[in-house]
Structure 1
Amino acid sequence: MTFTVRPAGPGDAADVCALLNAVDLIEIGRPETDLGTVEADLHHPDVDLATDSWLAFEGGRLVAYAMVWADSGPGRVDGDHYVLPGHPEAALLLLERMEGRAREMAGGPGVLRLQLNVKPTLDLSLLTGRGYRTIRHYQVMTRSLTTAGDPPPSVPAGLTLRHCADDEADRHRAHALIEETFAEHFGHADRPYEAWLDHIDGRRLDWSLVWIASLPGHGDVAVLLTRDDRASMGWFHHIGVRKELRGRGIGGFLLRHGFAVYASRGRDTVGLGVDTRNETGALALYEAHGMRLHYAVDTWELALHSQG
């Protein structure tokens, strides 16, 4: 089979989005990729589309898409790889391009990481045959909402909650709390504020949907960062409680607060992603609050060596 491969460009966002939704439909049963998310990826300041992205076409039809980026610290390169079923040649060709570029970006020993559905359209034998291995398992969890079933929760004694829409200093404080509360989590990379905004597509963030919780004598103790720019559901991006304050019901309160807010906004579903080996017991907390598995994702890793 003959394929045409070229870099992606900002004008390809709609076609890439259509490809990703075709993959979504196969892997999770419905399309869940938003055009804005793809546009943000294609405009990411740490990605040079000319060298870091690839589109594979068969007879003018887009059948595969890949991208790599390196904003998580020395030696680590992350990547996306999407392919329609029945196109192993295109899948392999883009894997080879990704790996070659990742070696250049790592500049020495390092790793390339991909996150893939546990039952992806990509033939996993292509990965195992090239030395990739799974290193982590994640769940995307969802919960249904109703205004009657999700009223505003009672606030724990002494706790106060404020949103970050009106104070730039609070936005920096939310970032600092996320960096602190996620510091021990697998795969977390410390990022200064501006780089963090780029990483989470923070320029489109509605800061009235980001909250900081405080306790007398402890100051700011927790953060809930959510976003309402996905068509399929509201999304809880980060829920973090300072280590010494965990186990006091603050995380559960923040969850219930988020449920109530999104129900009042007319949302019928919210979702989040969780590392199933998260040391804080987050998975059990989410299950206790009615969240259930939507689909699962594995992180695959390839050790990078300068000679391939």
Structure 2
Amino acid sequence: MDFTFRPATLDDAPAIHGLIAAAERNWHGQVSTDVTGVAADLQRPLITLDLDTRLAETAGSDPAGGEVAGWAWVHGGRRAQIDVHPSYVGRGLGTQLLDWAEQRAREHDSDWLAQTVDDADKAGTELLRGRGYDVLATNWLLERPVTGDAPVLPDGITLRSFAPDDAHAVHQVVQDAFDEWQPRRHEYEEWAGTSIERSSFDAELSPVAVAGDEIVGAVISLDLPDSPDGYVEQVAVRRDVRGRGLARAMLTYAALGAGRRGKQTLTLWTHSGTAALAMYQRLGMSVRRSTTVYRTAL
């Protein structure tokens, strides 16, 4: 089958999410993403849409374009994402998009490129392994019940829902916590665009932990309309108050709130680079599924 290629635009976000959702249903029977996440990716500060995105459409006579069959983006020359609609897997589209992503990374003068692939995506996994990509890291989607006792707080700490005036203090707590493993610090505008400024951000189910007049911990929750699950995007606890049960308390706060909304479970992703899997398992979370980060030298 022939495909036409062009850069993506922000208006393409719903169609792009449609193909991602189709793949998720095919692999897992449910959708765990939303269109605001696609829109946030398209607006990342290190992505220039005309240069760093590629949309594949089915060729046809309709001047408005055909069906979106796949897409790819390259972020900062080091990270790529490629998704192909299940209807078009096995037709060489993934290979074409990967060729483009590697070439775009070279144009950034990057010496390596990484991509995350769902472990249920056998075609994507086979493609990357066949091209010599090595395993860099693992991500796990964890889940916990939305029932249980009320959160137990350490002495001197209170919990309340996120308020707009908390934004910069929460950003500071999150970045300080994530500095221990993320490759670069995210400035406020980038962090906010992928979290609290998304229309799916759920302030009510995003607890902040306060000691005195300082925010010492935070959970960022999203309300994903197509998902039966509550979803936590970020968990952060300031180093000096760790080990006192604060993460458990904040996750319990979010989980019970999700249960009141009719959600079935509370979910979050964790990364092998954080070494947090065992901690979350001690907090009563279990692994539902996983993805793998692959990397190759260019």
Residue type at the aligned position of 1:162: R
2:117–2:124 CA contact under 8 A, matched in 1: no
Q: Does 1:182 align with 2:178?
A: yes
Provide the residue aligned with 2:96 in structure 1: 93
Deviations 1:52-94 (A, max 9, x none): 2222234444332111222xxxxx5222111236435211111
Distance 1:138 1:198 in 2: 22
**Number of residue-to-residue matches in the alignment:** 288
For 1:26-53, what per-residue CA distance to the aligned partner results, in whole angstroms no more than 9, with x for missing partners? 2222233323333333344543222222
Structure 2 CA distance for aligned equivalents of residues 86 and 259 of structure 1 = 37
Q: Distance in 2 between matches of 1:250 and 1:61?
A: 47
Q: What residue in structure 2 maps to residue 49 of structure 1?
A: 49
SS in structure 2 opposite 1:263? helix
Distance in 2, matches of 1:109 and 1:213, equals 40
CA contact (8 A) 1:212 1:223 kept: yes
Residues 229-273 of structure 1: CA deviation (Å, up to 9, x unaligned): 443122111112222332221111122122122223332222100
2:71 aligned residue: 65
Answer whether contact 1:136 1:275 (CA < 8 A) is retained: yes
Q: Does 1:244 align with 2:250?
A: no
2:249 alignment counterpart: 253
Q: CA RMSD in A?
A: 2.5
**1:118 Cα offset (Å):** 1.3
> Structure 1, unaligned stretches of length 5 or more?
71-75
Does the 8 Å CA contact 1:150/1:263 hold for their aligned counterparts? no
Write the mapping of 1:76-155 to structure 2, written as runs, cut at 5 A.
77-83=78-84, 84=86, 86-105=89-108, 108-145=109-146, 149-155=147-153
Q: CA 1:97 to 1:202, structure 2 compared with 1: closer, same or farther past 3 Å?
A: same
Deviation at 1:277, TM superposition (A): 5.1
Distance 1:265 1:152, change over 3 A: farther
- Following superposition, the deviation at residue 209 of structure 1 comes to 3.6
Return the alpha-carbon distance in structure 2 between the equivalents of residues 192 and 40 of structure 1. Answer: 15
Q: Give yes or no for contact 1:26–1:121 (8 Å, CA) kept in 2.
A: no
> Match of 2:123, SS?
coil
**Structure 1 134/250 Cα, relative in aligned 2: closer, same or farther at 3 Å?**
same
CA drift at 1:195 = 2.4
- Verify the 8 A CA contact 1:88 1:123 in the aligned structure 2: no
Q: Within 1, Cα distance between the matches of 2:52 and 2:196?
A: 19
Aligned-partner Cα distance in 2 for 1:20–1:109: 27
